[in-house]
Structure 1
């Protein structure tokens, strides 16, 4: 709770008989303050209904009594003790507003109304008791300084409660993200989502990115994103689960990630977010990104080909074994020509255009390839292996 002080500028001294007359009027002043608040701040009309009305009137009366104890202390007294109790009560009041989901607008309006009514009523009593004009001015200063102090304490309580509630909600959402990635059962996931106050979307898309980037990206993609941290590797990675990021939403995600190294998994039903995460993680493990965001949907072939890099390397070595007797430069040229030939289905001019060579060069090289590979080029299984082996750069 914040420390609070009343201004020390006033040299007000209230005679004991004035203090006594003011104290006698506190129940009536508190009643009129609450009535004015109900009349002028509509959002409190239902809140003060029934038995709650008496409780609120008592709270207002206690706050006014605290003020009178400060006034009675005079300029040489120490108001800290009576002020502390009032400030603590105002702080708790601000917390209550936040936990009820209300802003500070209504409470601050209530403070303004209460200050006006309390000052009017207390001033009438003080004047009737013989308080002179100069003392009345200093009395007004003390009244409004007191209300300002209580208002500031309530604002602080409201802000602290929101911050605390936000931290609790964030921790609950992190637990939900962890449960989604662990593929917990549906009942558990729904219960965790409700506890985390997380609106369940239709789909989720996993994004894997460096941990230090996650706050900035979350700010752009919205508070509905779930976050988790994977610190099991050499570098800490963050996992972001983005709701309903398909179609235009996916383009928005990729734009937000522009210029950053990140891996974006496929859209999946929200309970199957782990599938999207594994796809993004596979792309990260294969190192397919080059410092910019990688959309895994655009790299499915590489993900399939490199799902097992060692298996792909073995397949390539076996399929291209007939070229082992050639020099490295010749083997590379013939492999390049064979790849283009297979992908262009033997259209010589298309192969020549892709390789930037003459069509006769293509014919010559393919004559060498047919001589080296022989009947393998007529075997469907061997052709399949060659297409897979040559469809991606050498790993």
Structure 2
């Protein structure tokens, strides 16, 4: 049983008093609406025309139900349901809960003035007037609470819907959906497309905490396969982003035009599969290029280094290391020797062996193949 209904059980107005109050309340709805317009800025232009007429009818209905409650004819439930819907509607009209509560306070004051104007001349005893006042404000408090609940529920529902739209947009971006689909999704989510997006791959449990420190336009998912999460960061300053991500497990992909965010995500995924030590994919482009087709790299190594396979394993390994150093240091013997921790004469001897094995070692095409084959150990 509500507080207002309990109060009503202590006070049942007779029909004569109710009739007198109804007569006094004929203009009260208009007075309530006008007072709200005058005293609550958010409603200054909102209660004119059809909207004003709707609110006047709602006030009249609430007052009529209230008098039914006071005379023992109703429970006030219908009014509470209407107040709940009013609270939801205020969210749709863009007004805050503070504005609505202010309107209730103004309305309560004006409504009581009208109620008292009918009750006192009707001869209601002072003790009953006091109970009548308690019932009036208990009733209005319950309507106010119902509206507050409707307002909060609508905000929560909108928040959940907004979150779902943002998550769907993120999924569409990762899947490489068409620009038309992405623009429609951004519109539904109320998300302003940036110039670029940068994907950040990290453990799912770390996604939300990291997201809270980033640009509010960042999109986040924390339910990807392999317990992974992803952030899609708009127009990121790369150096600043890396500083904002102390998590060493985070992998930052390249910035890409926002409709091509899937390319940034794909590179981050591949970098993580390549090595757990990669954090910034921009620092590991050679490894990523060579790992793009592991089978092709294996075939290239087998073909390019075939002459070494005719040698004992230990010898082949030493010559491959020498060849790698020679290529990476562009044939500078002293630097090659320093890199291998051997004497320059040893480098000279080994390079003589390599030139016998690779007669076309000076060919640009051969140098390219061998550089790719031995320059990086991946795959």
Matched, 1:336 2:317: no
Which of 246, 250, 257 matches 1:258? 246
Alignment of 1:246-325 (within 5 A): 248=237, 250-259=238-247, 261-284=249-272, 286-290=273-277, 294-324=279-309
**Distance in 2 (alpha carbons) for counterparts of 1:53 and 1:174:** 39
User: How far apart are 1:87 and its partner, in Å?
Assistant: 1.2
Deviation digits for residues 185-207 of structure 1 (CA, Å, limit 9, x no counterpart): 44443333223322122122233
Alignment of 1:142-153 (within 5 A): 142-153=135-146
User: How far apart are 1:60 and its partner, in Å?
Assistant: 0.7
Deviation digits for residues 107-138 of structure 1 (CA, Å, limit 9, x no counterpart): 11101111122223323432323333333333
Q: Is the 8 A contact 1:6 1:149 kept in 2?
A: yes
Counterpart secondary structure, 1:221: coil
**Distance in 2 (alpha carbons) for counterparts of 1:254 and 1:27:** 68
**Corresponding residue number in structure 1 for 2:18:** 19
Counterpart secondary structure, 1:377: coil
Structure 2, unpaired ranges of 5+: none
**Distance in 2 (alpha carbons) for counterparts of 1:90 and 1:332:** 83
Which of 171, 177, 189 matches 2:170? 177
Q: TM-score, normalised by structure 1?
A: 0.83
Q: Is the 8 A contact 1:319 1:386 kept in 2?
A: yes
Alignment of 1:75-86 (within 5 A): 82-86=75-79
**Distance in 1 (alpha carbons) for counterparts of 2:339 and 2:29:** 89
**Distance in 2 (alpha carbons) for counterparts of 1:28 and 1:52:** 18
Counterpart secondary structure, 1:265: strand
Matched, 1:89 2:82: yes
**Distance in 2 (alpha carbons) for counterparts of 1:394 and 1:50:** 73
Alignment of 1:1-395 (within 5 A): 6=4, 8=6, 12-16=10-14, 17-73=16-72, 82-227=75-220, 235-245=226-236, 248=237, 250-259=238-247, 261-284=249-272, 286-290=273-277, 294-324=279-309, 328-355=313-340, 357=341, 360=343, 362-374=344-356, 375-395=359-379
Counterpart secondary structure, 1:392: coil
**Distance in 2 (alpha carbons) for counterparts of 1:170 and 1:94:** 22
How has the CA–CA distance of structure 1 residues 243 and 394 changed in structure 2, closer, same or farther, with 3 Å as cutoff? closer
**Distance in 1 (alpha carbons) for counterparts of 2:129 and 2:338:** 98
Q: TM-score, normalised by structure 2?
A: 0.86
Count of matched residue positions in the alignment of Structure 1 and Structure 2: 376
Q: Is the 8 A contact 2:324 2:375 kept in 1?
A: yes
Q: Is the 8 A contact 2:222 2:228 kept in 1?
A: yes
Counterpart secondary structure, 2:256: strand
User: How far apart are 1:67 and its partner, in Å?
Assistant: 2.1
User: How far apart are 1:306 and its partner, in Å?
Assistant: 0.8
Counterpart secondary structure, 1:53: helix
**Distance in 2 (alpha carbons) for counterparts of 1:111 and 1:101:** 17
How has the CA–CA distance of structure 1 residues 70 and 223 changed in structure 2, closer, same or farther, with 3 Å as cutoff? farther
Q: Is the 8 A contact 1:210 1:261 kept in 2?
A: yes
Deviation digits for residues 221-257 of structure 1 (CA, Å, limit 9, x no counterpart): 34423356775x5x25444332222xx2x33433444
**Distance in 2 (alpha carbons) for counterparts of 1:253 and 1:113:** 50
Structure 1, unpaired ranges of 5+: 74-78
Runs of 4+ with deviation above 6 angstroms: none
Q: Is the 8 A contact 1:91 1:156 kept in 2?
A: yes
Counterpart secondary structure, 1:299: helix
**Aligned alpha-carbon RMSD (Å):** 2.9
**Distance in 2 (alpha carbons) for counterparts of 1:382 and 1:311:** 17
User: How far apart are 1:174 and its partner, in Å?
Assistant: 3.6
